[in-house]
Structures are given as structure tokens and as C-alpha cells.
């Protein structure tokens, strides 16, 4: 098991999706078992991949046996395995949650099929080393998510899904034009090869145009602020496990990861670009936070808060310093865990009470202790209360901004953290504390599997700060940061490990 590990990240979810679509209708329970099995094995493989990277360095897999510029290659480096762990961890816990939650919807097997296809798309995007292949898998994940947003087939879901589909397709066309231009300019599609040719050719106008196209395209997928309009509709409308996946990992895998990979390793980051990313991040942070404050719908509030937190991540990564990238990646991981936890909580509330309106809730902790306390942990973590995980990553982002002499950005980040605390306190006060409303007397705590995954996620939130302990940090975060900081040496590393 060396190189053969890599294609499994795509083959396992695809194969299970096809099997479920064939047999899921006839055999009851197969869909549940198979998809849980698939996501669990993916999680296991992701952890395995870390040891593999540690032992061998960068691993390149040649699909079909063709040498990379001719064929497609898959690349496993430390950033890849970091992202794989983030995605598959959330995916596994979400599948466990869905076993009971999706009983509320019809056609569970179609849900699992689409879910696994989306997962395959995300893993494919992360693992690939080829630009067009990245686009193809990005489309798989996007199309699956368009359909999943409309899973409830009610008015709002359909409308949100339409909006999401149209904006997502526009983003895809921008990305495709960017790829076409790069192909014509360098005559290659392999990311390492493109990077090599670009360093030889030096800077040119076409590169800045392509950067603009990619920022528009991937920025739309990542919901950075001028391009965020679809997110507050799409994320709340989806079923809760899907909201957790969309907010928790999809926008990161398709948007932020692709941006990082392309800008740092392929195009090479310049100071203008870095400022552009940082200012996009800051605008998203502020606007997302302000809009979240005014929301009454719990899932909508979480969705706006996602925009704000993605702003933090992009700010950290955009700084381009070692500390900044480290902080950004750390926050990315933390946000994946606590935002999916919060969305799962909101799903539990909806499951038990049937409403998403904050004004109709109150005193839920008394009736639903697991949901109540786990959401308390999630909220405290996202608003940066020590010693929970969110505190450490936000602290690091602010420290990195100060270190890089961006004092204005640092102070804005502090202010937005306080803003975050404000609106999460609002959620806690309205939903979980205070008087229990009469209409909610009869509610019960949610089934076991839903509790299990919420508990697991809150444990990760509590101990997330441990990732900064030197021994763990070196293998997990720092090496991922190093992969980005290598910049254009990416090409040499890839071609070096092909032999």
C-alpha cells in the first residue's frame, strides 16, 4: 500500500454511490450501511495518508501509467492530506448523523448517492494534480450540491437551488476560460508543469487576467463577499446534514483550497494579489458578521456567520507569511468542525420542534441537554472563548496580522470577533436559555446517532487547541503550511518524485 492508496479516495465514494443507486431501492438499510462504511474507510485512509506523506514526502500517482504532462496525475502532499482529513472527518460524522435525520425525507438512497458523489467530487478536487481534472471534479461536487440543496422540494429550496445553480455555473465558466487561457499560454494542463513554464516565461498581462478570472470563479464558490449572494439562501434551505457539509467543507474544498493551490503553487503569489485576497477576506468578515447580527432564522444566521469566518480564513492565508498561512489553515479546520456542529444542532432543533425561527424557541436546554450543551460549546468556540479551539486560531490570525504589520486588519479582526460573540450570545439566549415556551412542552431529545456525532464534534472543538502542541503541529499543520510556502518549487518537487 504505497501509491495505490491515492485513487481509492475517489474510487471508494464513486463505487459506493453507483452501488447504492443500483441496489439501494431494493435492499432496505443497504444505503445506510454502505455509505457509513465508505466514509469511515475514507477517514481511515486519510489518517493513513499522513503517515505516508511523513515517510515518503510527496507521492505522485500516474493515472493509467502515463508520465504527468501527458497523462493525469494525482498528488498527495501534506496540504492534501490535511484537507482530506478535514473533509472526511466531517463527512463521516455527518453520515452518522443522517441515519436518523434523513428519515424525515423521502428517497433516502438518492440522498446517499448524491452525498457520496459530492464527497467524491471534493476528494477528487483535493487529490488531483491536473488543472482540468480539478475543474471536472469541482463540477461533480457542485452539481451534486445543487441537487442536494433542492432536496426538500419546497418553494424556498427550489428557488435557492436555482439561484445557486445559475451562479455556480457562471463561476464554472469563468474558471474554464481561465484554464483555456493558461493552456494556450503554457500548452500544458498539469499544475506542476504550468508552474514550471510560468516561472520560465516571467510575468505578463495574461497572468493577471487569469488571476482575476480565478478569483471571480473560485471566490464565487467560496462565497467571498462581492460574490456571496447565493450562500445565505442555499445553505439554510438544504437538509441539515447537507448544510453542515456545504458550510463546513464544500466552500473550503472547492473555493479556498483551489484558490490556495493555484495561487501559491501554480501562478505564484504577488503582493498585489496578496492585498486583494486580504481585502476580500476583511470585507467578507465585516459584512458577513453585520448581516448575521440581524437574522431571526437560526440557519440563516449560521450561513452569514460562515461568510464571516471564511473571511478570517482568507485573511490569514492571503497574508502569505508562514504564521498567517498556519493560522488560516488552523482556522479552516476549526471552522469545519464547529460550523458543522452548529448546523447539526440547528438540524436537531428543527427535527424536534419543527421550526427554525429563533423567536419561537426558548429554554431548549432543559429538554434537549445534548443539543443544548454541544451548541454552547460550538458557539463559544466559534466566538473565540479560551480555551476552545476557535480562540487559538483567531489569536494566531490576529498575531500574524500584527507580525506582518497589517495593524488595521488586525484591529478589524478583533472587532469582528467581538461581533461574532454578540450574535452567538443572541442564539444561545433566545434558543437555549430562558423560559420554555408552552408550545414546546412535548419535545424530546433526538435519536442516538444524531447525539453521537454532535458529541464527537464538540469533543473535537474542545481539544482542537491541542493541534498546536509542537509534536502534532509539526506533522499536521506546519507541514501543510510548508507545502504552500514552497511556492513555485512545487514543480520541482512534483517532478522530483515522479522517478
Partner 1 sequence: MFELYALLIFMIIAAIVAVEIKDLLSSIVAVGAVGLGLSVAFLILKAPDLAITQLVVEILSLIILIRATIKRDITPVNGQKELLNAIIVLLFIGGFLFFAYLALKDLPSFGHPIMRVSKTYLVEGLKKTGATNLVGSVILDFRAYDTLGEATILFTAVIGVLVVLRRVGRKGVGEEVKEDEEYED
Partner 2 sequence: MIYLMCFSLFSIGIYCILVKRNLIKIIIGLGIAEYAVNLFFILLGYRLRGRAPILAQDQVVENMVDPLPQALILTAIVIGLAVTVLVVAIALRIYEKYGTFDITKVKKLRG
Partner 3 sequence: MKTEEPGMSLIVKTITRLTVGLILLYGIYIVTHGHLSPGGGFAGGVIIALSFIHLMLAFGKELALKKLNQSLSSLFEGFGAIMFLTIALIGFVGGYFFLNFISKGKPFNLFSAGIIPLCNIAICFKVGAGLFAVFVALTLLRMNGKKG
Cβ(233)–Cβ(93) under 8 Å?
no
Q: Residues 258, 134: contact at Cβ < 8 Å? A: yes
Is 113 one of the binding residues for partner 1 (CB under 8 A)?
A: yes
Other Cβ atoms less than 10 A from the Cβ of 459: the count is 13
Taking residue 49's Cβ as centre, other Cβ atoms within 10 Å add up to: 25
Does 436 bind partner 1 (CB under 8 A)? Our answer is no
Cell of 145: 450540491
**Residues binding partner 1: number (CB under 8 A):** 57
CB 147 → partner 3: shortest distance, Å?
A: 12
When CB distances are held under 5 to 8 angstroms depending on the partner's kind, the choice from partner 2, partner 1, partner 3, none that residue 137 binds is partner 1
Give 144 or 315: the residue with its C-beta nearer to partner 1. 144
62 binds, among partner 1, partner 2, partner 3, none (CB under 5 to 8 A by kind): partner 3
Residue 162: name its binding partner from partner 1, partner 2, partner 3, none (Cβ under 5 to 8 Å by kind): partner 2
Q: Among partner 2, partner 1, partner 3, none, what does residue 159 contact (CB within 5–8 Å per kind)?
A: partner 2
- In angstroms, rounded to a whole number, what is the distance separating the alpha carbons of residues 398 and 417? 10
End-to-end CA distance of the chain: 18
Angle between helix 448-463 and helix 389-403 axes, rounded to 10 deg:
40
> Is residue 414 a contact point for partner 1 (CB under 8 A)?
no
Q: Which of residues 122-141 bind partner 1 (CB under 8 A)?
A: 124, 132-133, 136-137, 139-140
Complex with partner 2: residue 12 or 213, whichever CB lies closer: 213
Residue 136 and residue 142: Cα distance in Å, rounded?
A: 10
Least separation, in Å, of the C-beta of 455 and partner 2? 33
Q: Which among partner 3, partner 1, partner 2, none contacts residue 437 (Cβ within 5 to 8 A by kind)?
A: none
Q: How far apart are CA 129 and CA 271, in angstroms?
A: 25
CB of 316 to partner 2, least distance (A): 27
Residues making contact with partner 2 (CB under 8 A): 132, 136, 139, 143, 146-147, 150, 153, 155-156, 158-162, 165-166, 169-170, 172-173, 176-177, 180, 183-184, 189, 229, 232-233, 291
CB 280 within 8 A of CB 225: yes
User: How far apart, in whole angstroms, are the C-alpha atoms of residue 96 and residue 241?
Assistant: 10
Q: Which residues of 79-102 are buried (b: 16+ CB within 10 A; e: fewer)?
A: bbbbbbbbbbbbbbbbbbbbbbbb
Q: How far is the CB of 8 from partner 3 (least distance, A)?
A: 9
Name the residue nearer to partner 1 (CB basis): 18 or 407.
Answer: 18
Amino acid at each position: 500500500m504505497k501509491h495505490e492508496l491515492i485513487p481509492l479516495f475517489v474510487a471508494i465514494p464513486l463505487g459506493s454511490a453507483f452501488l447504492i443507486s443500483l441496489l439501494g431501492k431494493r435492499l432496505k438499510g443497504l444505503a445506510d450501511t454502505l455509505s457509513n462504511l465508505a466514509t469511515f474507510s475514507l477517514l481511515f485512509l486519510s489518517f493513513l495518508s499522513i503517515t505516508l506523506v511523513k515517510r515518503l514526502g510527496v507521492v505522485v500517482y500516474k493515472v493509467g501509467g502515463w508520465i504527468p504532462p501527458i497523462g493525469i496525475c494525482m498528488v498527495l502532499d501534506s496540504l492534501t492530506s490535511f484537507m482530506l482529513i478535514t473533509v472526511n472527518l466531517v463527512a463521516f460524522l455527518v453520515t452518522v448523523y443522517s441515519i436518523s435525520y434523513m428519515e424525515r425525507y423521502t428517497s433516502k438512497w438518492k440522498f446517499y448517492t448524491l452525498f457520496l458523489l459530492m464527497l467524491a467530487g471534493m476528494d477528487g478536487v483535493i487529490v488531483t494534480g491536473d488543472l482540468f481534472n480539478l475543474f471536472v471534479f469541482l463540477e461533480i461536487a457542485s452539481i451534486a450540491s445543487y441537487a442536494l440543496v433542492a432536496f426538500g422540494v419546497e418553494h424556498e429550496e427550489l428557488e435557492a437551488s436555482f439561484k445557486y445553480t445559475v451562479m455556480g455555473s457562471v463561476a464554472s465558466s469563468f474558471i474554464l476560460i481561465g484554464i483555456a487561457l493558461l493552456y494556450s499560454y503554457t500548452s500544458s494542463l498539469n499544475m506542476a508543469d504550468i508552474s514550471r513554464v510560468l516561472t520560465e516565461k516571467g510575468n505578463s498581462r495574461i497572468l493577471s487576467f487569469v488571476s482575476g478570472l480565478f478569483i471571480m470563479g473560485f471566490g464565487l464558490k467560496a462565497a467571498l463577499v462581492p460574490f456571496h449572494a447565493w450562500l445565505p439562501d442555499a445553505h439554510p434551505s438544504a437538509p441539515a446534514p447537507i448544510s453542515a457539509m456545504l458550510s463546513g467543507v464544500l466552500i473550503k474544498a472547492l473555493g479556498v483550497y483551489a484558490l490556495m493551490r493555484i495561487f501559491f503553487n501554480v501562478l505564484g503569489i504577488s503582493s498585489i494579489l496578496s492585498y486583494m485576497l486580504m481585502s476580500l477576506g476583511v470585507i467578507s468578515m465585516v459584512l458577513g458578521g453585520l448581516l448575521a447580527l440581524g437574522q431571526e432564522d437560526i440557519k440563516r444566521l449560521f450561513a452569514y456567520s460562515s461568510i464571516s469566518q471564511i473571511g478570517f480564513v482568507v485573511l490569514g492565508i492571503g497574508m502569505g507569511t508562514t504564521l498567517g498561512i498556519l493560522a488560516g489553515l488552523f482556522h479552516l479546520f476549526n471552522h469545519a468542525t464547529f460550523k458543522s456542529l452548529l448546523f447539526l444542532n440547528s438540524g436537531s432543533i428543527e427535527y424536534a420542534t419543527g421550526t427554525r425561527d429563533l423567536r419561537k424557541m426558548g429554554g431548549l436546554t432543559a429538554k434537549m441537554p445534548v443539543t443544548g450543551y454541544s451548541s454552547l460549546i460550538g458557539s463559544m468556540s466559534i466566538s473565540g472563548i479560551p480555551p476552545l479551539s476557535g480562540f487559538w486560531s483567531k489569536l494566531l490570525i490576529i498575531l500574524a496580522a500584527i507580525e506582518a504589520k497589517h495593524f488595521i486588519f488586525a484591529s478589524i479582526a478583533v472587532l469582528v470577533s467581538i461581533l461574532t460573540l454578540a450574535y452567538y450570545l443572541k442564539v444561545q439566549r433566545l434558543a437555549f436559555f430562558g423560559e420554555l415556551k408552552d408550545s414546546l412542552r412535548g419535545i424530546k431529545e433526538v435519536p442516538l446517532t444524531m447525539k453521537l456525532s454532535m458529541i464527537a464534534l464538540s469533543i473535537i472543538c474542545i481539544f482542537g487547541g491541542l493541534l498546536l502542541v509542537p509534536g502534532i503541529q509539526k506533522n499536521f499543520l506546519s507541514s501543510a503550511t510548508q507545502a504552500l510556502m514552497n511556492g513555485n518549487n512545487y514543480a520541482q518537487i512534483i517532478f522530483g518524485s515522479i522517478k
